[in-house]
Amino acid sequence: MQKKALNQGLLKFLQQSPTPFHATANLAAILQDSGFSELDEGEAWKLKAGKYFVTRNQSSIIAFVIGKTDRTKTGIRMSGAHTDSPCLKVKPRPEIFSEDYMKLGVEVYGGALLNPWYDRDLSLAGRVTYQAKNKQIHNLLINFNQPMAVIPSLAIHLDRDANKKREINAQTDIPPILMLSGKSQTLDALLKKQIKKENPKSNLQKVLGHELSFYDTNPASIIGMKEEFIAGARLDNLLSCYVGIQALLSADPGVTSLAICSDHEEVGSASAAGAEGPFLKAVLKRMIPDTEDRLRAIAKSLLISTDNAHGIHPNYPGKHDANHGPILNKGPVIKVNANQRYATNSETEGYFSLLCENSEVPFQKYVTRTDMACGSTIGPITAKEIGIRTLDVGVPTFAMHSIRETAGVDDTFHLYRALSAFFTDTGHLGAG
């Protein structure tokens, strides 16, 4: 795939994936279009050489290619990413009526940067569980897909210190405004209307539950004088999800490869569908049922965990270690942390460095300032759960966890080329 097509595909994917549920459905559609067969965790699997994918909770997905070569010798090439991003999630009974306005109460999901949520044209999307007229329970995804809410800033005239010290109380300051009056309005009624519009055959009788989040309707776009940046919501980490799955499509069919995109990374990954849950373990067990063979295969495998990395901000260069300030468009960043907040070790770093060099992909290195705390990601969690050698990498990004983040158009392609080289590497993964 060429750079332009990859970035255009990413823009479209971001636009169509306001929630982990939508991201998973869209990744599944890409895989299906490329000849991957869907598996159901509740059914018996009869796997042979071929291409498969499976989802859990409609919000995590594992895609894999089973090759004919002996996995106890060649191992499994794995890439990892996460489908979730920090956002505002609607409370179960969210209706708030104040000063003749209807607002919706929200929880903050993950470590969201809250300031940028003000004055945006927000919409609402997610999963709804409902009872149908035949009494059965169903899930479906909805997306209002139109600007329908706003969190207005308080005017500076009413808070003269706003530029110096405005604090945000997440309970009282950020419930988005939906409409004027509407005293008798309920979210359930709005959902019913929307479900009927999007799914006329849903046979909806009663809404039972929902997992809805607000998102910015402003679409992702290519920006900068030289059109060298990509700005959009959820680049952390839908960029890696999209690029990882696209790279898997070109995997060598002879060897075994796998890409996992899991939910709940932003809240610690400890869930049935998260990286600390049993999803990957369960799939590996079914791919290689014999324990001895599976453990041998895992010992030969390698995971490239692809989350984003902090690009050095030219207005705040002091926030980075002087020797480790990744620049946008200068290649994926190998992330290192002595305290295992990243799982990279010298061997996995060595493997990835050579992989990049051999494919003429530039790469950079990142370590957090020693006087600052380091974030973490799915890499160390998966390494701990599976016992797999792991490397943490990511494209350099500005404004991580903002409602709009910025990355480089070259870096999506650099990461794609590095992962494609990984998925077509039929040799030994790591030191001999």
Q: Minimum CB separation from Zn ion for residue 84, in Å?
A: 8
Of the pair 310, 324, the CB lying nearest Zn ion is at 310
Q: Minimum CB separation from Zn ion for residue 265, in Å?
A: 6
**Interface region with Zn ion, contact rule CB under 5 A, candidates 47-55, 139-147, 300-308, 408-416:** 300-308
Q: Minimum CB separation from Zn ion for residue 110, in Å?
A: 9
Q: Minimum CB separation from Zn ion for residue 307, in Å?
A: 4
Bridge partners (DSSP) of residue 406 are 231, 398
Q: Minimum CB separation from Zn ion for residue 390, in Å?
A: 15
Of the pair 236, 410, the CB lying nearest Zn ion is at 236
Q: Minimum CB separation from Zn ion for residue 247, in Å?
A: 18
240 is a contact residue toward Zn ion (CB under 5 A): no
Identify the H or E element spanning 42: none
Q: Which of residues 322-361 bind Zn ion (CB under 5 A)?
A: none
Q: How far is CA 138 from CA 58, 87, 169, 271, 399, in A?
A: 12, 25, 36, 21, 37
For residue 272, count other CB atoms closer than 10 A to its CB.
Answer: 13
Of the pair 66, 312, the CB lying nearest Zn ion is at 312
Helices (H) and strands (E) counted in the chain, each on its own, are 11, 20
**Interface region with Zn ion, contact rule CB under 5 A, candidates 87-95, 104-112, 233-241, 277-285:** 233-241
Q: What is the dihedral of CA 308, 318, 342, 270, to 10 degrees?
A: -70
Of the pair 260, 284, the CB lying nearest Zn ion is at 260
Cβ-count burial 193-231 (b if 16+ within 10 Å, e if not)? ebbeeebeebebeebeebbbbbbbbbebebeeeeeebbb
Of the pair 194, 240, the CB lying nearest Zn ion is at 240
- DSSP SS3 for 354: helix
Strand-pair category, 50-56 with 60-66? antiparallel
**Interface region with Zn ion, contact rule CB under 5 A, candidates 121-129, 234-242, 250-258, 289-297:** 234-242
Q: Minimum CB separation from Zn ion for residue 295, in Å?
A: 29
Distance, in Å, from the CA atom of 428 to the CA atom of 131, rounded to the nearest integer, reads 52
CB hemisphere CA count around 143 (13 angstroms): 14
Task: Provide φ and ψ at 340, rounded to 5°.
Answer: 65, 25
Nearest residue to 291 via CA among 184, 387, 192, 164:
387
Q: Which of residues 196-215 bind Zn ion (CB under 5 A)?
A: none
236 is a contact residue toward Zn ion (CB under 5 A): yes
307 is a contact residue toward Zn ion (CB under 5 A): yes
Token digits of residue 136? 């059965």
Of the pair 237, 420, the CB lying nearest Zn ion is at 237
Of the pair 307, 405, the CB lying nearest Zn ion is at 307
Q: Minimum CB separation from Zn ion for residue 375, in Å?
A: 8
Identify the H or E element spanning 150: none
Of the pair 76, 378, the CB lying nearest Zn ion is at 378
262 is a contact residue toward Zn ion (CB under 5 A): no
Near Zn ion by CB under 5 A: residue from 194, 237, 329, 406: 237
Distance, in Å, from the CA atom of 202 to the CA atom of 138, rounded to the nearest integer, reads 9
Of the pair 307, 349, the CB lying nearest Zn ion is at 307
Token digits of residue 392? 């943490």
368 is a contact residue toward Zn ion (CB under 5 A): no
**Interface region with Zn ion, contact rule CB under 5 A, candidates 63-71, 115-123, 236-244, 355-363:** 236-244
Residues that bind Zn ion (CB under 5 A): 236-237, 307
